[in-house]
Structure 1
Amino acid sequence: MNQDSEGCYVTCTARLEWLNAEGCITRKVNHKTATLRLVRNNFREMLVEVRGEKANAVIKFAVRAISVFNRFMSEGKASIKFQEDKCTLFLSNAPIAQLVTFLKTIFVKMTGQSEKPITKSSMRDKLLSNAKGGETDISPATTAEVNKAREKAATVSRATVTTPSPTSIRKRKMTGENTPKAPRAKKLNMSNPTIGEMTEEQKKVLAAILGGRNVFFTGSAGTGKSFLLKRIIAALPPDVTMATASTGVAACHIGGITLHQFAGIGLGTASVEACCQMASKSAASTILRKTKHLIIDEISMIDADYFEKVEAVVRYIRRNEKPFGGIQLILCGDFFQLPPVSKRDEKVKFCFQSKAWANCVQVNFELRIVHRQKDPIFINILNNVRIGRITEEITEKLKATSLQKIESNGILATRLCSHIREANEINDSQLEKLPGDQKVFIAEDSDKMMTKTLDQQLPVPSRLVLKVGAQVMLLKNINVSSGLVNGARGVVAKFQDGSPVVHFRTGGQYQAKMETWSIKTAGGGIIQRKQIPFKLAWAFSIHKSQGLTLDCVEMSLSRVFDAGQAYVALSRAQSMECLRVLDFNAKQVWANPLVLEFYKNFRRRIHEMELIPLGRKAKSVC
């Protein structure tokens, strides 16, 4: 099947089970790789076609009286029960984006279709029609159809196309209702991780990855790298895709694990031979063998030696001498931002300096459209700071921000510090100065033995101490339309029923409740933490601020010690109006010469790639 068509399909592992009246399984069919298509026959009836690996392995089901179980859809799993056929279709290892679209389309098309009575003549015609074939693909639901389905679902009472939740079932039993209600409109969202339109440059990256190429994509801060990574993860089969990052916080942002966990070689200080032996004896070896797609975010913080050792270990474990043992590699990061951590008196050795980089990376992309900042003047300043180019005009504009009053509604500016210890000291001392009693909130961890790991990888602390007047930052998207988003600044106004009530800079108010964060383990398990979604925000370290968008931030860059630190700090600001730079000095801004040279060659390769488009080679003309 041509999967570039406009049809609605999902490719995954499929298992079909038929039951008799007693509930015993009478027949089973398993497909390691199956393609499900949503089609219509000549009578406009909607069918689900299940096509296995063999050409004749095709089964079709009419989409009538079905129940859809989508609780584990975010893991690429779902099931559809065809009640008329007494068959249940179990789906697993499905790309999340495909699965969401497929199930949403079934919901929308069923909501919009009209039911016609079946007569003997129409049944005969349908059987003849099905014998001849002639099905046509159903296109994914349009915006108009989704809106229409929402309206109909909200106003029309009919049998639900999805299995009601236990809460709904209990409610009907209590009220004596037997007829299921129409599904609520919110089911149309189906926890879709891919909400939001991609730009053309982002689509090119995704297309290259779905085409099986090893890709490195980069871009300045705020160009949507994390957004694109989530789209990529949703487009790949989850069971064989490993999302990793150089740091725990970055891994948490994309729902993955650290590269160190994936590789199973610790800090990688041993020799290559010792690392290979270490990995072969660890639980990570099983993951290394089954992985087909490896994503590494914040690649700029991985040093060359470690990258080479991981690459050698993967080849050894998989017994495959292709680059990275034949795993498809998807690398993301900005080398102009934070470099690898190096010991004193040792030169930084970037990942792109390794031999493995040249062997592994096939295609390069650069995202150029900035989404975080809207002001073209500020974007231009940041682009110059990124490459270490500071003019007198830029110096004057940044110095002028020191006089700005950016506080409002009792919200003070968050100070960005070059060192984590400095940020912690500021937060502790400012909290101590506040009058009144303190409230302590202890996190509920699903595994007490993993508390230290959770502290390293999650933004939310295990122990949160608050007082009235404490400056805090929200660490979860609570209500996007009201501005209650990850990174929003607020101040604790009071405590109500034991929970903090926080006023935000935007004017909103929120009484906090326990929220849940999850991280994956190298073995595929899930560890969870429940905690109040706040962190003290008088100060943050530059390292901990990566990925955040701040609407009230100040900084003194006098103690920056790495190339790129000043750029990372400045690029956190949403605009010049919410930024205050104290005692700015042009000497505080510089870029690593090796990175400048890398990007010079990198852009030349991109230009050559644009001149010679990717794809099939053109036939020679005699």
Structure 2
Amino acid sequence: MDLNDASLSCAITLEWQKNGSIQRKVSHKSALVSLKRNKIRDIFIEIAGDKFVTINLKLKAVTIHNKFMAEGKTSINFKEENCILFISNAPSGKLMNFLKIIFVKMNEDSCKTPPSSKTSLRDQLLSGKLKTYDEISPVTVNDLKKVTDRVAKVIEVNTSPTSRKRKLNDSSTTPPAKKLFRQLTSNTSIDLNPEQKRVLEACVQGHNVFFTGSAGTGKSFLLKRIIATLPPDVTISTASTGVAACHIGGVTLHSFAGIGNGEGSIDRCVQLASRPQVLSVWKKCKHLIIDEISMVEGSFFEKIEEVARRVRKNDKPFGGIQLILCGDFLQLPPIIRRELSNSQNNKKFCFQTKAWNQCVQSCFELQKVHRQSDPEFVNILNNLRIGRVTEEIEQRLLNTAKQKIDGDGILATKLCSLMQDVNTINQQKLASLPGESKIFDAIDSDLSLTKQLDQQTPVPSKLELKIGAQVMLMKNIHVANGLVNGARGIVIKFTDGLPLVKFKNNKEYLVKPERWIVKPPSGNVFSRRQIPLRLAWAFSIHKSQGLTLDCAEVSLKSVFEAGQAYVALSRAQSLETLRVLDFSSQKVWADRDVLLFYRNFRRRLKQLEIIPLGRKKL
């Protein structure tokens, strides 16, 4: 979290209004918005650019609307100047930090006594001192904590039942920085480690980047930080699967490309991508994020690379679009149709294509594991990742079958290879509970897209629950309280028609409907509103990718893909919270082509700029 940079590159619109009508309007696609102080310590927002005169607006009696902050948008209403500043296309992470600085500075100043001045205001105006602006001082994390603690106490006093000071219209008179309090303080940010920072720097510098790493090395966490650093209007976030795309607030790669399943000829694919709505997205895109790149079929990747060049009329690799690719080829592979898998010309993985070698400039491998802290378990997983099972590893995993890992009435979630097995187990367990079921139907913005939303959101269109049902939370609700994606618990009762869940950490939470938004590149926005829960006696290995489970039981009897066993076992936090059933070394293997790719990973210096992270340069 960088709170030192009190400036923002973005698009702006300024509107001066009087009696509800716009008197003057100024818009610029590229501007630098900065926080400044004059000589008597007043705070200003300075708006500067190459093609317009610098404008300074005093941060006093302002209202900040931050509903769309995650989309890089906000507005600041300067009431005394009858002016509204609209900010858009700002990197959401930088916008968050910019508003945090405003939050700190305004609350710091509100608690200070203005310094006395020997010079009158009239003399200062005549001397021009008030028209001289300096950079605002940096904000530290401690500064942020002090201010948030102070504001929290004020809010607690003003909202207590015994307080009569709070008026009915208090929301309109509360200082704007306090309005941001809950949203800003709930987004606690963890600093990147050195290897993650190097990946971020390469992305910011405009390189085509591929970064990989074993399960639990923070790939998704880093990817979200990268997305938050780039301007949203020209950045398209995609993933190979709908759930992975929803996890990063994006769409599937197929949806972005606009060429259907990509099975048509290249001319047909170009024709499909040249439709007005699809073409406009291709042309505006400057940064393309692809998560879970390991599950993107090589021939499809090769096809969209050529489509990009042709529809953008740009002969550079991928039509000049910056690529940021993330994934682990030693986890789940692409799903290939049987007739294509038997073809000698089929290129299963992206790295097997000519397009990969032309597009990818910088490669990184994250090596520090965050999910597991036990060195023995990390070593076992690293061996399983490459398909190596020693006698010691086999015996250690076989011994886990006897472990009692259930507790507090919550059974271990069983990870299964087949979705059919998952549904059978969950339905049988639910049916065995006494009492009536309560059905929660999702509210979809478009009923014709229910099946699509089933694939692109982590919650079902119809959720059946009973008292005693074991469930998993499918969205981060309150990170500090452990109410995070993957937290498991038991429905203990229904209150006001909503499930009250007691989670494994003993926290009770009345689960309210949440909204998932799917934003196709075409601009249409679809949404699903549903209780953020799924039945969790069993879960599929494919859908568990990216989750961290506090207690897991893994059945390997039906494993059918390379890397599938590794993905399942790596969901657990430790060996003590893992129970492995049907373990056999024959169920653990890695694809030979992938092993060769990683073996040559650091030998491809002539084609790629390879930076092995986590090691000091000699």
Same fold? TM cut 0.5: yes
Q: 2:75 aligns with which of 72, 79, 87?
A: 79
Q: Given that residues 243 and 257 in structure 1 are in contact (C-alpha distance below 8 angstroms), is that contact kept between their aligned partners in structure 2?
A: yes
In the TM superposition, what whole-angstrom CA distance separates every residue of 1:118-163 from its partner, at most 9, and x where no partner exists?
A: 8973443355455985x43224421232233234435669xx9xxx
Q: Given that residues 38 and 130 in structure 2 are in contact (C-alpha distance below 8 angstroms), is that contact kept between their aligned partners in structure 1?
A: no
Displacement after TM superposition at 1:603 (Å) = 2.9
CA distance in 1, matches of 2:131, 2:500: 66
Q: 1:111 aligns with which of 107, 114, 120?
A: 107
Range that drifts further, 183-192 or 557-566: 183-192
Q: Given that residues 12 and 34 in structure 1 are in contact (C-alpha distance below 8 angstroms), is that contact kept between their aligned partners in structure 2?
A: yes
In the TM superposition, what whole-angstrom CA distance separates every residue of 1:344-398 from its partner, at most 9, and x where no partner exists?
A: 2616610011111111111111111111111111111111111111111111111
1:351 aligns with 2:355: no
Q: Given that residues 68 and 78 in structure 1 are in contact (C-alpha distance below 8 angstroms), is that contact kept between their aligned partners in structure 2?
A: yes
Q: Given that residues 148 and 181 in structure 2 are in contact (C-alpha distance below 8 angstroms), is that contact kept between their aligned partners in structure 1?
A: no
Q: Given that residues 103 and 177 in structure 2 are in contact (C-alpha distance below 8 angstroms), is that contact kept between their aligned partners in structure 1?
A: no
Displacement after TM superposition at 1:40 (Å) = 2.4
Match of 1:14 in 2: 12
Q: Given that residues 193 and 230 in structure 1 are in contact (C-alpha distance below 8 angstroms), is that contact kept between their aligned partners in structure 2?
A: no
1:450 aligns with 2:445: no
Match of 1:36 in 2: 33
Range that drifts further, 359-368 or 63-72: 63-72
CA distance in 2, matches of 1:357, 1:139: 45
State the one-letter code of the partner of 2:298: A
1:195 aligns with 2:189: yes
Q: Given that residues 3 and 139 in structure 2 are in contact (C-alpha distance below 8 angstroms), is that contact kept between their aligned partners in structure 1?
A: no
**Matched residue count:** 594
Q: Given that residues 153 and 183 in structure 1 are in contact (C-alpha distance below 8 angstroms), is that contact kept between their aligned partners in structure 2?
A: no
Range that drifts further, 509-518 or 374-383: 509-518
Match of 2:210 in 1: 216
Q: 1:289 aligns with which of 283, 289, 299?
A: 283
CA distance in 2, matches of 1:50, 1:192: 29
Q: Given that residues 46 and 54 in structure 2 are in contact (C-alpha distance below 8 angstroms), is that contact kept between their aligned partners in structure 1?
A: yes
State the one-letter code of the partner of 2:197: K
Match of 1:303 in 2: 297
Q: Given that residues 148 and 185 in structure 2 are in contact (C-alpha distance below 8 angstroms), is that contact kept between their aligned partners in structure 1?
A: no
Q: 1:237 aligns with which of 231, 236, 248?
A: 231
Distance 1:433 1:192, change over 3 A: closer
Displacement after TM superposition at 1:184 (Å) = 3.7
Structure ranking higher on relative contact order (CA contacts 8 Å, 6+ apart):
2
CA distance in 2, matches of 1:193, 1:284: 34
Q: 2:135 aligns with which of 137, 144, 155?
A: 137
CA distance in 1, matches of 2:498, 2:63: 40
Q: Given that residues 154 and 182 in structure 1 are in contact (C-alpha distance below 8 angstroms), is that contact kept between their aligned partners in structure 2?
A: no
Match of 2:599 in 1: 600
Distance 1:612 1:367, change over 3 A: closer
Where does 1:161-172 land on structure 2 (aligned, <5 Å)? 172=167
Partner-residue secondary structure (3-state), 2:120: helix
Distance 1:19 1:473, change over 3 A: closer
Q: Given that residues 405 and 412 in structure 2 are in contact (C-alpha distance below 8 angstroms), is that contact kept between their aligned partners in structure 1?
A: yes
Q: CA RMSD in A?
A: 2.8
Distance 1:118 1:485, change over 3 A: same
Distance 1:179 1:464, change over 3 A: closer
CA distance in 1, matches of 2:399, 2:576: 11
Partner-residue secondary structure (3-state), 1:190: helix
1:520 aligns with 2:519: yes
Match of 1:338 in 2: 332
Match of 2:483 in 1: 484
In the TM superposition, what whole-angstrom CA distance separates every residue of 1:386-417 from its partner, at most 9, and x where no partner exists?
A: 11111111111111101101111221121111
Displacement after TM superposition at 1:597 (Å) = 1.2
Match of 1:402 in 2: 401
Match of 2:162 in 1: none
The runs of at least 4 consecutive aligned structure 1 residues that moved more than 6 Å come to: 117-120, 610-613
Match of 1:166 in 2: none
State the one-letter code of the partner of 1:46: I
Displacement after TM superposition at 1:183 (Å) = 5.1
Match of 2:499 in 1: 500
Show structure 2 runs of 5+ residues with no match: 159-165, 614-618
Displacement after TM superposition at 1:283 (Å) = 2.6
Match of 1:168 in 2: none
Distance 1:193 1:268, change over 3 A: farther
Range that drifts further, 428-437 or 395-404: 428-437
In the TM superposition, what whole-angstrom CA distance separates every residue of 1:170-224 from its partner, at most 9, and x where no partner exists?
A: x83568x996468548626438767221111111111111111111111111111
Q: Given that residues 4 and 139 in structure 2 are in contact (C-alpha distance below 8 angstroms), is that contact kept between their aligned partners in structure 1?
A: no
Q: Given that residues 3 and 97 in structure 2 are in contact (C-alpha distance below 8 angstroms), is that contact kept between their aligned partners in structure 1?
A: no
Distance 1:555 1:155, change over 3 A: closer
Distance 1:79 1:513, change over 3 A: closer
Distance 1:228 1:302, change over 3 A: same
Q: Given that residues 38 and 138 in structure 1 are in contact (C-alpha distance below 8 angstroms), is that contact kept between their aligned partners in structure 2?
A: yes
Displacement after TM superposition at 1:44 (Å) = 3.2
Q: Given that residues 293 and 330 in structure 1 are in contact (C-alpha distance below 8 angstroms), is that contact kept between their aligned partners in structure 2?
A: yes
CA distance in 2, matches of 1:126, 1:186: 33
Q: Given that residues 42 and 129 in structure 1 are in contact (C-alpha distance below 8 angstroms), is that contact kept between their aligned partners in structure 2?
A: no
Q: Given that residues 9 and 37 in structure 1 are in contact (C-alpha distance below 8 angstroms), is that contact kept between their aligned partners in structure 2?
A: yes
Displacement after TM superposition at 1:505 (Å) = 2.6
Match of 2:392 in 1: 393
Distance 1:451 1:193, change over 3 A: farther
Range that drifts further, 520-529 or 228-237: 520-529
Q: Given that residues 102 and 140 in structure 1 are in contact (C-alpha distance below 8 angstroms), is that contact kept between their aligned partners in structure 2?
A: no
Identical columns (%)? 54
TM-score (norm 1): 0.89
Q: Given that residues 365 and 606 in structure 1 are in contact (C-alpha distance below 8 angstroms), is that contact kept between their aligned partners in structure 2?
A: no
CA distance in 2, matches of 1:259, 1:146: 39
Match of 2:312 in 1: 318
Match of 2:23 in 1: 26
1:60 aligns with 2:59: no
1:421 aligns with 2:416: no
In the TM superposition, what whole-angstrom CA distance separates every residue of 1:551-597 from its partner, at most 9, and x where no partner exists?
A: 12112212211110011000011111111111311111111111111
